[in-house]
Structure 1
Amino acid sequence: MTLRYSLLEETLIGARLADGTRIRLTLPDLFVLLAEDRIRDFPALRPHQRHPWHAFLVQLAAMALHEAGQTEPLADEAAWKAALLALTPDDPDGAAWCLIAPPERPALMQAPVPEKTLTAWKNRLLAPDELDMLVTSKNHDLKAARMRHCEPEDWLFALISLQTQEGFLGAGNYGISRMNGGFASRPALGVVPLGGWGRRWARDVRRLLDCRAEIVQDMELCEQGGIGLVWLRPWNGTDSLAFAALDPFYIEICRRIRLLESTDGVSALATGSKAPRIDAKSRNGVTGDPWMPVEMAAGKALTITGKGFDYKLSSELLFGQKFLSPIAQALIEEDGQQGILILARGVTRGQGKTEGYHERGIPISPKVRGFMIQKKTDGLAKIAEERVSDIGKMRGLLWTALATLFENGAPKDTFGDSAKDKANLFSKPFEQYEDARFFGGPLGLNEEIESEQPGNMRLRWYLDMAERAQSILTDAFDSGPRSGEQRYRARAAAMSRLHGGLRSDKTLPTLAHYYKTQKDSKETPYVQL
């Protein structure tokens, strides 16, 4: 078997430049263009593969620069090629950077096979999406094995996705070290400054290099001589690498996979293992991952649920005290003044299933940026907590009014399951809208913080929520009781429940005071109730 599809020699990676031009690149070429911030995106990259690809490029570049004794991106393709080959001194011909190599030798993201043969490997995968980490349910989520007409880069992205973010999937299929348990996930949070892929890439490479000693000390990893490219080490499926033997920027693999080529094209062979590749179960995913938040009290990496990065979790991750922020999330002066996002990404995993890919970009306003750089976020946390609570109060009031409608105007303590289910269904869009605008939307948190009159901004938000709650309740009238007497009673009781709650000091005192003032002064309310 000969070496095929070298990332160092062949233009396998498809990219689109800032001006829209599509080109194909070697890996060293790509690093040069990333350093110049000329890459817009990668057209073949699937959404759930975005973070694994970004992390791979950042960790690899940081490792190469550290070994070369450099702190800034290298100048040209030849220098990058030499730096990458220096990471694989036992394979000077570049086998470790090829997608296909003899089984006894390393191939990209594929460990050498000590047996030197694949005859016992029976699990053949014919398409990249069959290899990738997504679990689909009876072809309902995404059609399986549909990428039959594919390019080598599709296998590249699938390999990196599988080997760096997959979890446990039955006996012999162990997951990565950088997650809290086999059924967890590898979510990622990081700053995205204004610019393209390259601006963020260069920024994160610099953060890794600046924080290398910190990661080494905190994680007790190797400052020098550690295992960085885990796929270089032979693996028979029975042994595990000690966590302490790793480089702080290590790029791992979790499965025994080898790519092959025949007259039918590229395919993959897979086999199980009797142990995880890295012995890190006791670490609960706390590995120094530059993008992974850590739950401090429990000493474990973040695992996201099917809700993804909703406004409650996101506000806690940005401003709260529960999680230790990863180094990629920490704002620095070089990130600039405008156009900054905190980007959150992750796939929710479960037992034999996935519960969705989640991605959220959280805009950071100038004042918020200033507080975060100064690490003075207690005030931001307080405002965010109040807003989370206020959304809950308004949604609870709307839910009660809706359940009253669907229960024909009956008292709260008599609501049946049917009325509760309908109330859940009809009140869900209210919370979804508030979730979407929580940070940067109209009347969102950023506007309140930037405002010279934050109290007035908060009141406008309350009034807007009240108006939307009433609109949702009114729209639900058509799904309530239809007979004349029941319809009148149910609608009147539901609206009365909503009005009374809005004017109660126990719900939102500021809003209640506003309505009282308007009534006393006989002025027309902002919201006509």
Structure 2
Amino acid sequence: MTLRYSLLDEPLIGARLTEDGSRVHLSLPALFVALADDRIRDFPALRPHQRHPWHAFLVQLAAMALHEAGQTAPFADEAAWKAALLALTPDDPDGAAWCLVSPPERPALMQPPVPEGTLKAWKNALTAPDELDMLVTSKNHDLKVARMQRCAPEDWLLALISLQTQEGFLGAGNYGISRMNGGFASRPALGAVPRGGWGRRWARDIRRLLDSRAEIVRDMELCEQGGLGLVWLRPWNGIDSLAFTILDPFYIEICRRIRLVESPAGISALATGSKAPRIEAKSRNGVTGDPWMPIDIGAGKALTITAKGFDYKLSSELLFGQKFRSPIAQALIAEDGAQGIVMLARGVTRGQGKTEGYHERRIPISPKVRAFMIQKKTDVLAKIAEERVSDIGKVRGVLWTALATLFENGSSKDKFGDSAKDMANLFAKPFERFEDSRFFDGPLGLNEEVEAAQPEDVRLRWYLDMAKRAEAILIDAFESGPRSGERRYRARAAALSRLHGGLRSDKTLPTLAHHYKAQKDSKEAPHVQL
């Protein structure tokens, strides 16, 4: 078997350029040059759930190459990048470790050497890149597998990186990565994105890694020099695990025994199981120095997202709260600029033998919010966010009670049946979804309040808008409430009374209650004729 599909020499990676949107195909060194010039708009073959693994791979790889070369800034030409990448694989000067296909006893990209030197015993054949990838679908209904029959080498490349750097446990013999909290967890990512293209973020994250290398080495007890960075270079028999402490702080891992092979029909993959994870890091609970991974301080473990993804509650805690230790990619630096900064959160929610959705959220950072974050004075922002989370919950609670009253035929008691509760939950969901969507940067959102000269005016207008929408949702629910004449009128009147009474109570939102009272007093005040 010969070496095929070298990322160092062949234009295998498809991209679109920022200047005119034209499509090009680049080698890995050529891609790094284009990224350094911020000329890459996007990668057309990249699937949504592959975005972070691909970004992380490009950043960690470039950071390792630059560190080994004693450089702090990206190289400006392809030859320098190729030499730096080859320097990471001194035992394979012919570039085998950068090829998609190589002899089994040699390393291939993201594929460890096979000690036995043959794949005859490997029975699990995969014919399409999406069959190799890490997504798990429900009985082949959510997303059909093995659809990518007419595919290019880059499709295998992206699927391979996705699998090897973000997959979890999937039954006996299929272990997950070290950079997550347990086999059924996930590898979410959070980081700042400055204004610009893919290359701008790539370059800033490389700088963050290089600047933080000593910190990661110290905190994670990893190797400052001579550590294993490209885990696929070591042969793997499927039995032995690597000690975490032998790794480079920027290490790129693998978790499965996979080999790509080529036949007249094209590329396919062979896989076999293992009796142990590739890296022994279970006790670390995903705390590995991952530059994009938030850490739950109290629990001492990496963040795992649920099916809710990065909702407004979790996002505000990640940005401003004290529960999580921020990843190094989240920290703002002066070079990010003052305008157009976004906090980008990504991740796939995994479960036992299933995937519960891909989640991505972009949170624009306003100038004042940026200033607070750079000065590490987020307590003000945390207080505002906490109040807003609480206020949404209070209005939703009032709305829910009014809805339950409606579906309980206007009962004046707070004991509701299961049917009424289920209907109230159903109709209350759009209220919270809308507030989630505008929590940070929408109309009357957190950014607007922080930037305002009179933030209390923004807060009041937000309260009034929530009250208006809550009433609209309740009125829309009338059609699904009681239908008979007497019950219908009683239920609707009781529900509206519950809603209005709750919104005007000092126990809900005192500021809103005071506003309503002032309005009422103004209307009832006697008019004095002169």
User: TM-score if structure 2 supplies the norm length?
Assistant: 0.98
Q: Distance in 2 between matches of 1:411 and 1:284?
A: 49
1:141, CA displacement in angstroms? 1.1
Q: Is the CA contact 1:304–1:346 (under 8 Å) kept in the aligned structure 2? A: yes
1:263, CA displacement in angstroms? 1.2
Q: Distance in 2 between matches of 1:137 and 1:147?
A: 18
Q: What residue is the counterpart of 2:291 in the other structure?
A: 290
Matches within 5 A, 1:69-88: 69-88=70-89
Report the secondary structure of 2:414's partner residue.
helix
Q: Distance in 1 between matches of 2:306 and 2:116?
A: 40
Report the secondary structure of 1:413's partner residue.
coil
Q: Is the CA contact 1:447–1:457 (under 8 Å) kept in the aligned structure 2? A: yes
Q: Distance in 2 between matches of 1:31 and 1:103?
A: 28
Report the secondary structure of 1:30's partner residue.
helix
- Per-residue CA deviation, residues 22-59 of structure 1 (Å, 9 max, x unaligned), is 00000000000000000000000000000000000000
Q: Is the CA contact 2:126–2:270 (under 8 Å) kept in the aligned structure 1? A: yes
Q: Distance in 2 between matches of 1:212 and 1:151?
A: 36
Q: Distance in 2 between matches of 1:225 and 1:469?
A: 61
Q: What residue identity is the alignment partner of 2:417? A: G
- Per-residue CA deviation, residues 118-144 of structure 1 (Å, 9 max, x unaligned), is 000000000000000000011111101
Q: Is the CA contact 1:400–1:412 (under 8 Å) kept in the aligned structure 2? A: no
1:16, CA displacement in angstroms? 0.4
Matches within 5 A, 1:2-21: 2-18=2-18, 19-21=20-22
Corresponding residue pairs, total? 524
Q: Distance in 2 between matches of 1:413 and 1:466?
A: 21
Q: What residue is the counterpart of 2:121 in the other structure?
A: 120
Q: Are 2:163 and 1:152 aligned? A: no
Q: What residue is the counterpart of 2:256 in the other structure?
A: 255
Q: Are 2:473 and 1:472 aligned? A: yes
Q: What residue is the counterpart of 2:270 in the other structure?
A: 269
Q: Distance in 2 between matches of 1:85 and 1:64?
A: 9
Q: What residue is the counterpart of 2:67 in the other structure?
A: 66
Report the secondary structure of 2:157's partner residue.
helix
Q: Is the CA contact 2:228–2:251 (under 8 Å) kept in the aligned structure 1? A: yes
Q: What residue is the counterpart of 2:457 in the other structure?
A: 456
Q: What residue is the counterpart of 1:161 in the other structure?
A: 162
Q: Distance in 2 between matches of 1:452 and 1:350?
A: 46
1:225, CA displacement in angstroms? 0.2
Q: What residue is the counterpart of 1:522 in the other structure?
A: 523
Q: Is the CA contact 2:412–2:494 (under 8 Å) kept in the aligned structure 1? A: no
Q: Distance in 2 between matches of 1:167 and 1:442?
A: 39
Point out where structure 1 has 5 or more consecutive residues left out of the alignment.
525-529
Q: What residue is the counterpart of 1:136 in the other structure?
A: 137
Q: What residue is the counterpart of 1:26 in the other structure?
A: 27
Q: What residue is the counterpart of 2:405 in the other structure?
A: 404
- Per-residue CA deviation, residues 227-269 of structure 1 (Å, 9 max, x unaligned), is 0000000000000000000000000000000000111111000
- Per-residue CA deviation, residues 333-361 of structure 1 (Å, 9 max, x unaligned), is 11100000000000000000010000000
Change (3 A) 1:470 1:523: farther
Q: Are 2:493 and 1:488 aligned? A: no
Point out where structure 2 has 5 or more consecutive residues left out of the alignment.
526-530
Q: Distance in 2 between matches of 1:10 and 1:414?
A: 69
Q: Distance in 2 between matches of 1:366 and 1:49?
A: 31
Q: Distance in 2 between matches of 1:523 and 1:444?
A: 33
Q: Distance in 2 between matches of 1:23 and 1:221?
A: 38
1:414, CA displacement in angstroms? 2.8
Q: Is the CA contact 2:5–2:100 (under 8 Å) kept in the aligned structure 1? A: yes
Q: Is the CA contact 1:113–1:234 (under 8 Å) kept in the aligned structure 2? A: yes
Q: What residue identity is the alignment partner of 1:14? A: G
Q: What residue is the counterpart of 1:344 in the other structure?
A: 345
Q: What residue identity is the alignment partner of 2:199? A: G
Q: Distance in 1 between matches of 2:250 and 2:42?
A: 24
Q: Percent identity?
A: 85
Q: Distance in 2 between matches of 1:496 and 1:410?
A: 12
1:191, CA displacement in angstroms? 0.3
Q: Are 2:362 and 1:361 aligned? A: yes
Q: What residue is the counterpart of 1:233 in the other structure?
A: 234
Q: Distance in 2 between matches of 1:149 and 1:421?
A: 46
Q: Distance in 2 between matches of 1:125 and 1:211?
A: 39
Q: What residue is the counterpart of 2:112 in the other structure?
A: 111
- Per-residue CA deviation, residues 68-91 of structure 1 (Å, 9 max, x unaligned), is 000000010010000000000111
Q: What residue is the counterpart of 2:103 in the other structure?
A: 102
Report the secondary structure of 1:211's partner residue.
helix
1:413, CA displacement in angstroms? 2.8
Matches within 5 A, 1:373-412: 373-412=374-413
Q: What residue is the counterpart of 1:43 in the other structure?
A: 44
Q: What residue is the counterpart of 2:206 in the other structure?
A: 205
- Runs of 4+ with >4 A deviation: none
1:433, CA displacement in angstroms? 0.2
Q: What residue identity is the alignment partner of 1:494? A: A
Q: Distance in 2 between matches of 1:303 and 1:186?
A: 7
- The alignment's C-alpha RMSD in Å is 0.8
Q: Are 2:328 and 1:327 aligned? A: yes
Q: What residue is the counterpart of 2:528 in the other structure?
A: none
- Per-residue CA deviation, residues 125-178 of structure 1 (Å, 9 max, x unaligned), is 000000000000111111011001100000000000000000000000000000
1:412, CA displacement in angstroms? 3.9
1:523, CA displacement in angstroms? 8.5
Report the secondary structure of 1:362's partner residue.
strand
Report the secondary structure of 2:195's partner residue.
coil
Report the secondary structure of 1:137's partner residue.
coil
